[in-house]
Amino acid sequence: MSLNTFELLGGLVEVSGVSGNENNVVEYAKGLLDKYGKTETGVLGSVLCKVGEYYENRPDMLIDAHIDEIGMIVTYITDDGFLKVSGVGGLDNRVLPGQRVKICTDDTVLDGVIVSTPPHLSHGDKNAADIDDICIDTGLTKSEAASKISLGDRVYIANSLERLCGERVTSHALDNRAGCAAVILALDMLDMSKLKYNLCVMLSTQEEVGERGAKTGSFSVKCDKAVIVDVSFAHTKGESVSQCGELGKGAMIGFAPSLSREMSNEMKQTAEENGIPFQIEIMSGKTGTNADVIGVSGCGAKTVTLSVPIKHMHTPAEVVDMTDIENSAKLICAYLERN
């Protein structure tokens, strides 16, 4: 493995990409993908990379990971120069008060702080902040703020990638830069002479607001089969053991009515044959991932999900185990090279 997982992932989380505003991270990812194939950007911003030679007699395979992240969008500037915001994607409002944020303007990135209400005003109530009550302290007056910040600018909570114990790491946006890292690692490991598919990799936009980048991107690719690489729940305090995977136990292979049972079984067999650790994730209908739209794109495609287990999803304190990313990459690679 020539790529270092920590450096790869660290670089990917460092560049912002709140849904609809993924340009920076897409450009960064294109730079990483260039050496594996020709890249192009779709109308909604997803990056597509065609890998290897095209053969008429081979099935077309799409490997997808969404590259966008949740965040906020500026809707109003108050008389005191504070920003009002709306959520972009499934924000966890409980974690917002007191957090540092980055405000992404056209020219630059500004720092801000999300207001936390002092106890004498909250009267000790235990209600989590509603997004309508959230304000961002810019340290600026209204006119200063209005000259620098535009309505519609994205805001996100930034945390650089940090090592925890062992191979575990924490950051914001591991949903789904962890998936992006797994896909790029897989390309890096892939033996092109063994590739059994016409392969296209897609790092798609706007998943967090309803799988929109994957919908249009997969239409333009027209695949027979697709592997969707995302994150899924790892067990932590308060979560149900039966509905979660575990950190460090390998990628979670999805089984669901909306997925191809054939592909799920193939993926499981591939893992078993190659001694790659894996877990099974059962979903009872759709998956809540890009597989839901890719599977019914055009005249349809067979899909399977591979999920990197993650703790504290949609918070700036997400945690993944880097071995799960590496094992996801190995599994993708082995699947692509399998007869």
Site for other proteins, rule CB under 8 A? 78-80, 82, 90-100, 110-122, 126-130, 133, 135, 137-141, 144, 157, 159, 162-166, 168-170, 233, 236-240, 243, 247-248, 288, 311-317, 319
Measured between alpha carbons, how far apart are the two ends of the chain, in Å? 23
Task: Name the minimum Å distance from CB 92 to other proteins.
Answer: 4
Is the separation of the CB atoms in 303 and 291 below 8 Å?
yes
Distance CA 318, CA 307 (A): 14
Task: Name the minimum Å distance from CB 227 to other proteins.
Answer: 22
Distance CA 321, CA 241 (A): 18
Task: Name the minimum Å distance from CB 208 to other proteins.
Answer: 12
Task: Name the minimum Å distance from CB 137 to other proteins.
Answer: 6
Is the separation of the CB atoms in 169 and 162 below 8 Å?
yes
Q: Six-digit token pair at 235?
A: 């067990």
Is 318 or 337 the residue whose CB approaches other proteins more closely?
318
Task: Name the minimum Å distance from CB 33 to other proteins.
Answer: 29
Q: Residue 166, class by beta-carbon neighbours within 10 Å (0-12 exposed, 13-18 middle, 19+ buried)?
A: exposed
Is 50 or 148 the residue whose CB approaches other proteins more closely?
148
Is 60 or 92 the residue whose CB approaches other proteins more closely?
92
Q: Residue 292 belongs to what H/E stretch?
A: helix 291-294
Q: How far is CA 18 from its chain centroid?
A: 10
Is 184 or 283 the residue whose CB approaches other proteins more closely?
283
Is the separation of the CB atoms in 254 and 230 below 8 Å?
no
Is 58 or 314 the residue whose CB approaches other proteins more closely?
314
